[in-house]
Structure 1
Amino acid sequence: MAQDERHLHLILNGKSAQREDVRAAVEAVRGRGHRVEVRVTYDAGDAARFAREVVGREGDDLPDVVVAGGGDGTLNQVVAAALEARPAPPCAFAVLPLGTANDFAAGLGLPVDNMGSALLLCARGAAKPIDVGRINGRVFVNVASAGAVTRITREADPRAKRLLGGAAYLIAGASRFAELTPTRARISGEGFSFDGEFMALAVGNGRLAGGGVALCADARVDDGKLDLSLFPKPDADHMMALLSSLVKESETGLQGYARTHRFTRLTVEADEDLAVNLDGEPMAAQVLEIEVDPGAIRFVTG
């Protein structure tokens, strides 16, 4: 991939289309000689549709890099649709982090506060193969999670999260303590087994979720494996300690409590349907077949 002139195709979440820093970033990158196409989402499903269309191009019309302009959910939609349309996409992918949390970008150490630097990295940074995860065939790029504590991190008011940081999780957890019901499941695969109740599980290709919480602190996007963090049912005192770890965004507290395992394939069989969060995209199933798709895409990581 040439470093001097690169063809970017930016799929931009419509909520960010009027941001002046985004417009300035696009103009600055164009001013450096790069070609930047912009498509703005309006309806649900637009990001996926645009991704399918662009990876189907051939020759000079195919961009060097497809950039997901949005949060982790937008990145998920773009990558999942591209892989569905073309299992070995010839173009690379990148992210312009415009979401509330931007956990995947933050976990990779990419610029999340300066859109000019972030888009310039898309135009000049090196692309390398990275893995993606799959649950029952559905793709996740960063982290998939399930369970009661995970539901709290997902449902915590985004406005409170911006104002209070991790304390928003403690407030949500304390106010809804009676709703923190455990899930019973059997988990097996590659030297790991569990039969009991848990409050949350996270499967990480990336490290961070829920607004900077290191649910899978040691995960790497390019090692051909996924990382499991399983949080068994605690007593009431340990539940508040777990929520406090979320407040402090403490890797030590979370990982000291979790059962962890690195794998390529894992099966979860729950007693009832599990609500699962794939990079912010919802699904539900009673049996989860989880596997890694190693080196599935090339991604601009700097």
Structure 2
Amino acid sequence: MSKLPRSAALIVNTKSRTGEKAFRDACRLLKEAGVDLVMAKAVKNPAKLPDEVKKAVNAKVPMVIVGGGDGSISCAVDHVVGTDTVFGLLPLGTANSFARSLAIPLDIAGAVAVLTEGKRKKVDLGMIDGDYFANCAAIGLSPLIAETVPHDLKKWLGRPGYLGWAAVQLARFKPFLLTVGEGASAVTIDALEVRIANGRYQGGTELIETEVGDGDIVIQVIEGQRRFKLLWSWGLSLGGPGPVRGTVREFRGREFRIATDPPLPISIDGEVLAQTPVTAKLARHAIVMAVPA
């Protein structure tokens, strides 16, 4: 496949954990590598980031580079779908799960090297109803955390702060009834957590034996009613997806209808953006990305 473009727009969410500090370094490293930055925006209000991406795509900039966390990446990809624009990312968030799933280095120099020395690749995205997402959506405790976690806690304490807040919110959490599928083939089970995954990672932890591009969306469910099992599964996740496999049930395919009783919010790459029931599916080869060579 052809080389990556040497002309790009850089759009960085400076509210992401390392965004403000990384913006100047990214500009300098890209220019030193011979990339012509036709646009460089440090976005202080994350809500305005998708509009800046849309402007760059509409201006036919060959490559749009977004710096931020998983939420920033997820809200940006919608505007690149169906275009010839190459999408690049600088992982500047707390978990950086999508970057991990694509083996993109988490340091600025390494990520910039991918943007200048890597290759183009058509990459799958997930979809929740009509909304594209990059890496993973979740039902259960994750949306409860996402709705309540103080932004400064994530920014200054990173993953340890996020996990500490998760322990606090566990006391409020209640199991729920999950239905996957419709009609005679529907499966209804007691659930503690549901992950709707396009990639291997959630919250920066490798949980699912899959690859971005394997052709399936993965529904991973921690079954049961006792919160202890949720804690047990989380503990096993420290050893990777192998130990987790014994505590979860998985459904793999291109499309699933998902409902819960009661209806519950869904966090999409860390941002609460939907509520059950929804249709989750895979968008095959949805965007062209800069990935490691």
TM class by smaller structure:
0.7 to 0.9
SS of aligned partner of 1:277: strand
Gapped runs of 5+ residues in structure 1? Answer: none
Partner of residue 288 from structure 1, selected from 278, 285, 291: 278
Pair 1:90 & 2:84 matched = yes
**Amino acid across the alignment from 1:25:** A
Structure 1 residue 111, shift from structure 2 partner:
0.9
The answer (yes or no) to whether the contact 1:227–1:260 under 8 Å persists in 2 is yes
**Amino acid across the alignment from 2:214:** D
Partner Cα separation in structure 2 for residue 148 and residue 237 of structure 1: 13
Residue 297 of structure 1 corresponds to which residue in structure 2? 287
**Amino acid across the alignment from 2:11:** I
Give the TM-score normalised by structure 2. Answer: 0.86
Structure 1 residue 38, shift from structure 2 partner:
0.9
Percentage of matched positions with identical amino acids = 23
Structure 1 residue 65, shift from structure 2 partner:
1.6
1:134-153 → structure 2 map (5 Å cutoff):
134-148=127-141, 151-152=144-145
Residue 64 of structure 1 corresponds to which residue in structure 2? 62
Partner of residue 186 from structure 1, selected from 176, 179, 182: 179
1:165-209 deviation digits (Å, cap 9, x = unpaired) = 88x35x743x55442311113111699742122011101111111
Residue 224 of structure 2 corresponds to which residue in structure 1? 233
Structure 2 CA distance for partners of 1:203 and 1:189, relative to 1, 3 Å: farther
Structure 2 CA distance for partners of 1:153 and 1:250, relative to 1, 3 Å: farther
SS of aligned partner of 1:69: strand
1:40-79 → structure 2 map (5 Å cutoff):
40-57=42-59, 62-79=60-77
Pair 1:11 & 2:11 matched = yes
Structure 2 CA distance for partners of 1:150 and 1:257, relative to 1, 3 Å: farther
Give the TM-score normalised by structure 1. Answer: 0.84
Gapped runs of 5+ residues in structure 2? Answer: none
1:141-184 deviation digits (Å, cap 9, x = unpaired) = 10011113664588665379637488x35x743x5544231111
Structure 2 CA distance for partners of 1:191 and 1:222, relative to 1, 3 Å: farther
Structure 2 CA distance for partners of 1:25 and 1:238, relative to 1, 3 Å: closer
Pair 1:118 & 2:111 matched = yes
**Amino acid across the alignment from 2:197:** G
The answer (yes or no) to whether the contact 2:179–2:186 under 8 Å persists in 1 is yes
Structure 1 residue 123, shift from structure 2 partner:
2.2
Deviates more, 1:280-289 or 1:198-207: 280-289
